C-alpha cells in the first residue's frame, strides 16, 4: 500500500470488460482457440481418469498399494509437460493456435482437480466439489485466456491486440483502461475472450493502483435490509424497489423457448445436427437471458456504488441464500434479486472507498427486535408487515425496523477491515419468556449492545427476507 499526497493507494486486481465486434474470419479464429482449449482439457482429463480407474480396478484384485499403476501428477506444470509430449499425435494442428489456448484448458482442469481433492480431504470449505467433467462442444461456453505475448490497447482506444488473433475491434471505447495504462497505474495480467449471450467480450485482468476514496459521510452508518418485494430497505427509510427483470422478460422468454422446441434440434443418438432455424432461435433465447443478466448487474452496480461512496459503514445480513433457494415458492424471486452479488460488490467497493462492511450474524433477530426499546418478540408471523411493539408502542414498517437494528449493530462491532463479521456466536433460539427488553436512551445501539439482548435471545433474521 503506497501513499500519494497524503492519501493511500490500494493494490487491487480489477477487470475491465469490453464487447467485441469480430469479423467472420476473426470469430472462426477465436472459436478455433476455444476448441483447442477444450481438446487439451478433455485429453488431460481422460488421461488422469484412466489412471485413477486403473488403480481402483487393481485394488479390487487385491494388489498392494506399492504395486499399483503409478499415479500421474495433475498440477499445471505436470499436465503441460505431458501435453507437450503428446500434442503431435493428439492434435497435429497444434501449431495453428496459440500455446495459450491449450494452457487455458489445462489450467482449468488443474484447478478443478485441486478443488475436488481439497473438498474431499476437508481442506476446502463450503459445498462439496464434484469431479471435473468433459467439456462438450455444444454446451460449453467458448473461452480462451492469454497471459503472455502482445496484449495491448491501441492508441485509438477502439481496438485491442491479442496474441495470434491480431487486432480486434471493440464495440465501445476502452478509454478507462487506456488512461490507467498510460498513467502507469495499471498493468495487464491476462486477457480473456469469451462468448456470452451470442456476443463476444474481452476481459482484461489488471493489477491496479487505486487511490483510496473517502465516503461522503465517513461517520454515517446505514443498515441494508434485503428482500423480494423491495430489493433493499435502508435504515434512513429509503426504499430501493426490486426491478424484477426476470419476471418482466418471462413472457418473451417462454415464447422464445417454445420456438426453440418446435425447431429441429440436435440429436446425440443419431448424430444429427440442429437446423439453422433451431440455431437462430437458440441464439435469440440466449440473448434474452443475457439481457436480463446485464440489467440485473447494472442495477446492482449502481446501488452498491452509491452506498459505498456515501456511507462510511454499511451493515448487511449474512443470508442463507442456498437455503432460500430450496423454497420452490421463493427460489425464482431470490435468484433474480441477486443477494450474494450485492454483498460481493459491497465488500470490495467499501474497501475502495475507505468504508467498512459489517456482516450481521445469521441468527441476529433484526426483524423481531424493536428498534426503539430493544424488546425481542418471541414470534413474528411472516404476514405481519408492520412491526408493533407492545412495550413502547412503536409502529413501524417491518423492513425499516430491521434496517435500523442492523445500522445500530455497527456500533458494537469492532474492526477496521473492508469486511467485518460480528462473530458473537448467535444461535437460533428466542427466549421462551416472551419478551426481553432493556430501556435505553434514544440514539443508542439496539439489540447488538452488550446488556441489551443476551446472545441466547437471538433468532433468525430470515423471516422478513422471506416475506419481503
* Percent over 90 (pLDDT), the chain: 62
Query: pLDDT grade, residue 34 (50/70/90)?
Result: very high
- On the question of pLDDT at 322 being above 60, the answer is yes
More reliable by pLDDT, 461 or 399: 399
Between the ranges 101-110, 123-132, 218-227, 444-453, where is the mean pLDDT highest? 101-110
CA distance 353 to 369: 31
Q: CA-CA distance, 387 to 120, in Å (whole number)?
A: 46
Give the pLDDT confidence score for residue 454 in this predicted structure: 33
Chain-wide mean pLDDT for the chain?
A: 86
Q: What value does the mean pLDDT take over residues 62-84?
A: 90
From 100, 107, 225, 240, the catalytic residue: 225
| 423, pLDDT greater than 80 | no
Indicate if 225 belongs to the active site: yes
Res. 443: pLDDT tops 70: no
CB-based burial, 214-232: b 16+ in 10 Å, e otherwise: ebeeeeebbbbbbbbebbb
Which of the residues 196, 240, 336, 399 is marked catalytic? 399
Query: Of the residues 317, 336, 361, 463, which is catalytic?
Result: 317
Residue 49 and residue 236: Cα distance in Å, rounded?
A: 57
Q: Where are the beta strands (DSSP E) in 121-255?
A: 143-146, 152-153, 159-162, 166-170, 186-196, 199-211, 217-226, 230-234, 239-241
1 vs 150, more confident = 150
pTM of the model: 0.81
Q: Given a cut of 50, is residue 430 above it in pLDDT?
A: no
Active site residue 64: no
Average pLDDT score over residue span 406-424: 68
Amino acid at each position: 500500500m503506497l501513499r500519494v499526497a497524503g492519501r493511500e493507494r490500494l493494490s487491487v486486481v480489477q477487470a475491465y470488460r469490453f464487447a467485441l465486434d469480430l469479423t467472420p474470419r476473426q470469430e472462426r479464429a477465436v472459436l478455433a482457440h476455444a476448441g483447442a482449449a477444450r481438446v487439451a482439457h478433455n485429453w488431460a482429463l481422460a488421461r488422469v481418469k484412466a489412471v485413477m480407474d486403473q488403480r481402483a480396478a487393481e485394488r479390487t484384485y487385491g494388489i498392494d498399494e506399492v504395486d499399483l499403476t503409478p499415479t500421474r501428477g495433475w498440477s499445471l506444470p505436470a499436465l503441460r509437460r505431458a501435453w507437450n509430449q503428446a500434442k503431435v499425435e493428439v492434435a497435429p494442428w497444434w501449431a495453428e493456435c496459440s500455446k495459450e489456448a491449450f494452457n487455458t484448458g489445462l489450467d482449468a482442469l488443474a484447478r478443478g482437480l485441486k478443488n475436488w481433492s481439497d473438498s474431499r480431504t476437508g481442506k476446502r470449505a463450503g459445498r462439496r466439489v464434484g469431479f471435473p467433467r468433459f467439456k462438450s462442444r455444444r454446451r460449453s461456453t467458448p473461452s480462451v485466456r492469454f497471459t503472455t505475448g502482445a496484449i495491448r490497447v491501441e492508441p485509438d482506444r477502439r481496438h485491442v491486440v491479442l496474441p495470434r488473433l491480431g487486432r480486434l475491434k471493440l464495440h465501445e471505447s476502452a478509454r478507462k483502461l487506456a488512461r490507467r495504462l498510460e498513467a502507469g497505474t495499471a498493468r495487464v495480467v491476462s486477457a480473456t475472450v469469451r462468448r456470452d449471450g451470442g456476443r463476444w467480450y474481452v476481459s482484461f485482468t489488471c493489477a491496479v493502483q487505486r487511490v483510496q476514496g473517502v465516503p461522503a459521510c465517513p461517520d454515517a452508518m446505514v443498515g441494508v435490509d434485503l428482500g423480494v418485494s423491495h430489493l433493499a430497505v435502508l435504515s434512513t427509510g429509503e426504499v430501493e424497489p426490486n426491478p424484477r427483470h426476470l419476471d418482466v422478460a418471462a413472457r418473451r422468454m417462454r415464447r422464445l423457448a417454445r420456438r426453440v422446441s418446435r425447431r429441429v434440434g440436435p440429436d446425440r443418438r443419431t448424430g444429427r445436427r440442429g437446423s439453422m432455424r433451431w440455431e437462430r432461435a437458440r441464439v435469440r433465447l440466449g440473448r434474452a437471458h443475457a439481457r436480463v443478466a446485464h440489467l440485473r448487474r447494472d442495477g446492482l452496480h449502481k446501488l452498491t456504488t452509491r452506498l459505498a461512496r456515501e456511507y462510511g459503514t454499511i451493515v448487511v445480513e449474512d443470508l442463507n441464500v442456498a437455503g432460500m433457494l430450496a423454497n420452490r415458492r421463493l427460489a425464482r424471486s431470490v435468484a433474480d434479486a441477486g443477494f450474494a452479488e450485492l454483498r460481493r460488490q459491497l465488500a470490495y467497493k467499501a474497501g475502495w472507498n475507505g468504508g467498512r462492511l459489517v456482516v450481521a450474524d445469521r441468527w441476529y433477530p433484526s426483524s423481531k427486535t424493536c428498534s426503539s426499546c430493544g424488546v425481542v418478540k418471541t414470534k413474528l408471523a411472516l404476514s405481519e408487515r408492520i412491526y408493533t411493539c407492545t412495550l413502547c408502542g412503536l409502529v413501524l414498517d417491518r423492513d425499516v425496523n430491521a434496517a435500523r437494528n442492523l445500522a445500530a449493530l455497527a456500533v458494537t462491532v469492532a474492526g477496521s477491515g473492508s469486511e467485518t463479521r460480528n462473530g458473537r456466536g448467535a444461535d437460533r433460539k428466542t427466549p421462551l419468556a416472551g419478551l426481553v427488553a432493556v430501556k435505553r436512551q434514544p440514539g443508542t445501539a439496539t439489540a447488538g449492545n452488550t446488556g441489551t439482548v443476551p446472545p441466547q435471545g437471538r433468532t433468525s433474521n430470515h423471516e422478513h427476507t422471506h416475506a419481503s
